[in-house]
Chain A
Amino acid sequence: MPDATGLELLAAELGDAALETVYFRDRATVVIDPAKIRAVLAALRAKGYTFLASVHGVDYYPEGPRLGVMYELLDMHKVDRITVKLRVPTDAPSVESVTNATTEDPGWPTANHQEREVYDMFGVVFEGHPDLRRILMPEDYEGHPQRRDFPIGGEPVIFTRDEAGLLESRIEEGTGA
């Protein structure tokens, strides 16, 4: 991990893209402007953080902006980790995808499935993702189950004996398809 001073220096280099730094339990996190994610990751790649270990989402309900996306970067040579975090509101949860290569940046192919999972579970839309579909939940599922206001057990369990009845009621409600 960069130490607390190193983190400040790194954030200073990122300029106004860095909104806040958090140094907690010897772990460095930089909170950034969601619009600048590609530029920040590219800048950190140039610093040596070439391995994107993980992309995952989090819901900060009831604080706003509610949704967070974390990018865990790793520098294998210096054995150093840094977390890049951004926050987006639920009414416009849109972040630029980092999966595809562009002319100035080779992209992060590993983000493909992980961005799909964040989209599936939290509803964060990754603009420019090559194939943004649900990945773990069924294709026709409604809602984003990892959000904190999504109830546990809100899902009716379909058994063969009551399948017809359930489908019937869904059609009446107009939610079947």
Chain B
Amino acid sequence: MSSTEERTLSDYRRREQSITLSPLETQDDRSGEHDELLTLNFGPHHPATHGVLRLLVTLQAEIVRDIKPIIGYVHTGIEKTAEDKAYWKVIPIVERMDYLSYYFNAMAYCGAVETLAEVEVPKRAQYLRVIHLELNRIASHLIWLGTSALDLGAVSIFLYCLRERELILDLFEMSSGARMHTRYFQVGGVIEDIPAGFESKLRKFLEIMPARADEYGAILNSNEIVLQRLRGTCPLDADTLLGLGVSGPLLRAAGNPWDLRKADPYCSYDEFEFKIPIGTVGDNYDRFAVRLAEIYESVHIIEQALDGLPEGPHITEDRKIALPPRHELATSMEALIHHFKLVTEGMRVPPGEVYFPIESPRGELGCYVRSDGSSKPARVHMRDPSFVNLQALAPMVRGSYIADMIATTAMLDPILGGIDR
């Protein structure tokens, strides 16, 4: 064996050995034929982990005694990259963190920068944001529903869910030109007003969606296998969840009606009427039911936003923040200067630090931005709900069957792009 081979091998072994499995506790100390603990590696490449999540599972026969999540496989240093970019160039990279809820990432970041720079967002832009945020929430829940059903053995639901998601992506393509990572939200508003034909297409979708959600509910709620795998499995009470920092549908499934859209409204959410679906016992079925019910509420919010869409500008008129309209460049010297300054250097933001939390499909998504007065942020941090919620997986599944662990991971809805950033 050459020295290089030896080195690579020992490096690998060293990394493996640094993962300690020592403090594993067995609550059940009965001595019997199944008391031997088996440590099983699960993932990172496994279809039921919803990404590159690796779990070290300690099993006693088929009972999960403990799990240790190992993450970082898709860490791409987005927060570090953001420190080297002008404020407006950070938006497309933060969108790639939680890749199913890109509008929310952009909203949290833009909200933080707008608070720092004290920019007023026009009413029309806020309503357009709400429309896109809620469409994105439905799209995210559809992917969650499809992949979760896939884990439970219901393959056809996945295809149906992608069918409806396609309609949403078509709408995104219409308003912004891109289907994913749209870069539609800008600091101060949105990049463009919605095009002609968007409204009618959206209304058609709003008509279809509740009926389709009814169908999903009907299919899954009458499927005995799905029900048996969800009902009463892996519950966790609200107090434990709060201690673990869990928010979003997981917390609401346990009966705590905490929703930032209601509790601490941002982006004009206080002007819409909607309900917060909550569960009772916090088992996997409640987690499923809460998210399914949220689809209807999102449809309801979009309807109201579309009906009450105010007239006016779609982005702030502050030329130090937003680009001037294209037609002004031909006639106004000042517009040309502003355009040049914004494109080459970017906007300058007063020094300070702000934490801006919003309600993403998975819970509290907080964006912390620190500005040192230059044209690049000195620190961008995302408090990603998937990252925090993942800590609740071990307490949820301890003492349950390994099959329930699969269902619970699905109901947790972790997005590894958001966890690893």
Q: CB within 8 Å of B: which residues of A? A: 24-25, 27, 29, 50-54, 56-59, 70, 72, 76, 79, 81, 83, 106, 108-114, 117, 121, 130-131, 133-140, 145-146, 148, 150, 152, 164, 167-168, 171, 176-177
Contact = CB atoms under 8 A, between A and B. Distances in A.
A52 to B, nearest CB: 6
27 contacts: A25-B118, A27-B355, A53-B247, A54-B368, A54-B388, A72-B355, A72-B357, A76-B263, A81-B355, A81-B357, A83-B355, A108-B243, A113-B388, A121-B79, A134-B72, A136-B421, A137-B72, A139-B14, A139-B19, A140-B11, A140-B14, A150-B80, A152-B80, A167-B7, A167-B8, A171-B7, A177-B10
B interface bracket (residues with beta carbon within 8 Å of A): 35 or more
B286 interface: no
Nearest to A107: B243
B320 interface: no
Contact of A113 (B77, B115, B264, B387): B387
Interface string B70-82: 0110010101110
Nearest to A108: B243
Contacts of A138: 15, 72
Contacts of B264: 79
A117 B118 CA distance: 30
B293 interface: no
B19 to A, nearest CB: 8
B352 to A, nearest CB: 5
Contacts of A59: 379
Given A25-B118, A70-B368, A145-B77, A136 B71 contact: yes
B162 to A, nearest CB: 30
Contact of A53 (B14, B80, B353, B383): B383
Contacts of B115: 25, 27
Contact of B352 (A25, A58, A139): A25
B242 A53 contact: no
Interface of B: 3-4, 7-8, 10-11, 14-15, 18-20, 23, 71-72, 75, 77, 79-81, 83-84, 115-116, 118, 242-247, 258, 263-264, 352-355, 357, 364, 366, 368, 370, 378-379, 381, 383, 387-388, 390-391, 420-421
Contacts of B421: 136
Contact of B391 (A27, A109, A150): A109
B391 A110 contact: yes
Contacts of B75: 136-137
A79 B352 contact: no
Nearest to B12: A140
Contact of B4 (A51, A135, A139, A168): A168
Contacts of A111: 245
A131 B18 CA distance: 11
B243 A171 contact: no
Contact of A133 (B7, B18, B247): B18
B76 to A, nearest CB: 10
A21 B324 CA distance: 39
Contacts of A133: 18
Nearest to A176: B7
A110 B388 contact: yes
A133 B390 CA distance: 17
Contacts of B381: 56-58
A114 B370 CA distance: 18
Contacts of A70: 355, 368
A77 to B, nearest CB: 10
Contacts of A130: 23
Contacts of B81: 152
Contacts of B20: 131
Given A135-B72, A177-B14, A164 B243 contact: no
B238 to A, nearest CB: 11
Nearest to B364: A53
A146 B79 contact: yes
Nearest to A27: B354
Nearest to A83: B355
A53 B245 contact: yes
B258 A167 contact: no
Contact of A114 (B10, B80, B388): B388
